[in-house]
Amino acid sequence: MEQIKDGWFSEKNDLWPGQFFSLEVESILHHEKSKYQDILVLETKNHGTTLILDGIIQCTQSDEFAYQEMISFLPLCAHHDPKSVLIVGGGDGGVAREVSKHPLVKEIIQVEIDEKVIEVSKKYLPFMAKGFSSPKLKLNICDGFEYMRQHKSQFDVIITDSSDPIGPAVNLFTETYFKLLKDALKPDGIICSQGGTLWSQLEHVQDTISNCKKHFDVVDYAINSVPTYPTGQIGYVIASLNPNANLRLPKFLIQDKQAEELDLRFYNSDVHSAAFVLPNFAKKVLSW
Amino acid sequence: MEQIKDGWFSEKNDLWPGQFFSLEVESILHHEKSKYQDILVLETKNHGTTLILDGIIQCTQSDEFAYQEMISFLPLCAHHDPKSVLIVGGGDGGVAREVSKHPLVKEIIQVEIDEKVIEVSKKYLPFMAKGFSSPKLKLNICDGFEYMRQHKSQFDVIITDSSDPIGPAVNLFTETYFKLLKDALKPDGIICSQGGTLWSQLEHVQDTISNCKKHFDVVDYAINSVPTYPTGQIGYVIASLNPNANLRLPKFLIQDKQAEELDLRFYNSDVHSAAFVLPNFAKKVLSW
């Protein structure tokens, strides 16, 4: 709680030295240390209810939709028929909320290791936790690695909604993890993982992509704006087992009318394709 | 200087209540109050030399290129032959640096009201101020409004590099200002102005676009990522007097090789078109 001082939460962290972002706090709604992490929920002045894990902002009510929609709809719409989806992590329920909106999705399995995050989200972050109420969803409290070892060739799409690629979630960006993802996918399956940020973690993004390329035929990287994340942007590693896949061209189209019907505030088919366009400094290093 | 405390500069401001961004300070290189504004130059730990006007970060060495390249190359590449360019503001020299790179530009006039910003930039921010050395450039210390009143139908492109659309620079976003811009342009001219941010100033963006539409046939809005600006993103109002213009399709193409030759670290032709793709929440309000 030393991050809260004079009514402000400051996200100081060695992951982004020399800078930090602060949010004005109206009240502390919840604080506990679970078996896995420090869980803090704040009511903030201008960004609504905010979930913070191990001192890092995971989502604020004001902009969480940008991340949740993109990490879900990028792989779902890049797949021709995403019937069966696995979500690894995502304990706040936001990704389940988005995935369950997609008309072609029939079955969602979610594996989250920390049931305390789910409990806390259900209580304080109902705008995300409503994802857990989807009749399409089956939620398992267990280790994603273990689950995938026992469920081979089963999913059309696997989404890994984790914290940053450096720090506690580092195992979710290794070659071993991408091998597990590959084996849990059906032959033409697609994965999407939170993939760090170009501006402050470009070498880590490069490493993650290299690890992914060892097991996937087509690997790509997309970005979008999320104001309360460090550098105001987040990236996604998205990959397909189909050697002819073009992940930049959505197969399932969502234009204005359908976006409205699905309550999508960020994602549409044009946003999908534009998200893969990288600035020169990143394109050069990631060598597309 | 009350914004610097315990070795950190904090950008608290009523323009973005409930949040602020902080940079670790290595040293204060310069501080003065000019006739027009408070000028502060910091050496920061992870973002290099940083220019701050009236307490607001204008540019850091680490990411200024993203803004300077976009505000310059969006209008220049949307024009079929941008021979003559006017820059209003831009006292740090960054926009002049970028505009002077464009092969079709023959003559650049820059009008900046505060010569102190120019002096300070020449001394402490040579990586931007080198724009002032361009043989294409003629620099005038004067009021942009006054200059344009006296120079009608003269420019192919006019770039307004100002501070935010609310606060001191508010006059640069009014209908009167867009009328002045229109009259200073040649018949098929294009303008580009810093246009605030979608995430925290959407109504102001909407107002600016309405003002612009009163005088320009084609008005559009583009965005890109700049990590050290509030919300990590900045927008541009770009408009043409040519009723058939499509500002989203660059007429002058810049792919990888030429981007490298022109030392463009952010802009390329794909980035140009992608910058106009807006998330649903913004598209709806700005009604394209």
Q: How many CB atoms lie within 10 A of CB B270?
A: 20
Please write the tens of the pLDDT for every residue from B79-104. Answer: 999 999 999 999 999 999 999 999 99
Report, as an integer, the average pLDDT of A131-148.
Answer: 96
Is the Cβ–Cβ distance between A195 and A164 less than 8 Å? Answer: no
Reduced to 3 states (helix: H, G, I; strand: E, B; else coil), residue A191 is strand
On whether both B37 and B70 belong to a single domain, the answer is no
pLDDT in tens, A119-129: 999 999 999 99
Instruction: Find which of A5, A13, A277, A287 to mutate to test the B interface (most B CBs within 10 Å of its CB).
Output: A277
Q: Which residue has the tokens 């361009």?
A: B134
Q: Do B123 and B260 fall within a single domain? A: yes
Mean pLDDT per 10-residue segment, chain B (288 residues): 92 93 98 95 98 96 98 98 98 98 98 96 98 98 95 98 74 91 97 94 92 96 97 97 97 97 98 98 87
Structure tokens at A275: 């998200």
Q: What is the pLDDT of residue A168?
A: 60
Our count of domains for chain B comes to 2
| Residue A18, min C-alpha distance to chain B (Å) | 5
Same domain membership, residue B204 and residue B84: yes
Quote the pLDDT of residue A169.
76
Instruction: Give DSSP secondary structure letters for B95-163.
Output: HHHHHTT-TT--EEEEEES-HHHHHHHHHH-HHHHGGGG-TTEEEEES-HHHHHHT--S-EEEEEEE-S
Helix (H, G, I), strand (E, B) or coil at A246: coil
CATH number, domain of B270, equals 3.40.50.150
In this structure, the answer to whether residues A148 and A270 fall within a common structural domain is yes
Please provide residue B17's backbone torsions phi and psi, each rounded to the nearest 5 degrees: -65, 150
What integer is the mean pLDDT of A195-219?
94
Owning domain of residue B106: 64-286
The three-class DSSP label of residue B75 is helix
Give pLDDT, residue B288.
56
Query: Which tokens is B176 given?
Result: 């009167």
**A166 confidence band (pLDDT: 50, 70, 90):** low
Q: Which of residues B29, B60, B91 is at a domain's end?
A: B60
Same domain, B93 and B152: yes
Final residue of a domain: which of B39, B60, B81?
B60
- What's the CATH code of the domain at A41? 2.30.140.10
Residue type, B155: F
The pLDDT, as a whole number, for residue A167 is 61
- Looking at the fold, whether A95 and A227 belong to one and the same domain comes out as yes
- Chosen for mutation from A61, A225, A269, A287 (greatest number of chain B CBs closer than 10 Å) is A225
Written as one letter, the residue type at B66 is A
Same domain for A200 and A244, yes or no, is yes
Instruction: Provide the whole-model pTM.
Output: 0.97
Average pLDDT, chain A: 95
The conformation of residue B279, written as its DSSP 8-state character, comes to -
pLDDT at A165 over 70: no
User: Which tens digits make up the pLDDT trace of B195-251?
Assistant: 999 999 899 999 999 999 999 999 999 999 999 999 999 999 999 999 999 999 999
**What count of CB pairs under 8 Å joins A to B?**
132
Residues B26 and B78 reside in one and the same domain: no
Q: How confident is the model at residue A137 (pLDDT cuts 50, 70, 90)?
A: very high
The encoded tokens of residue A28 equal 């502390």
pLDDT band at A145 (very low <50, low <70, confident <90, very high): very high
Residues 6+ positions from B62 with CB-CB distance below 8 Å: B46, B47, B48, B227, B228
ipTM value: 0.96
> Pick from B60, B76, B94: which residue ends a domain?
B60
CA angle B32, B37, B38 (to 5 degrees): 40
Is residue A97 within 8 A of residue A68, CB to CB? The reply is yes
Longest dimension (CA), chain A: 55
Residues B14 and B150 in one domain: no
Contact with chain B for residue A145, Cβ under 8 A: no
Q: Specify whether B88 is located in the same domain as B49.
A: no
Residues B132 and B22 in one domain: no
Please tell me the distance in Å from B223's CA to the nearest CA on chain A.
10
For residues B55 and B80, membership in a common domain is answered with no
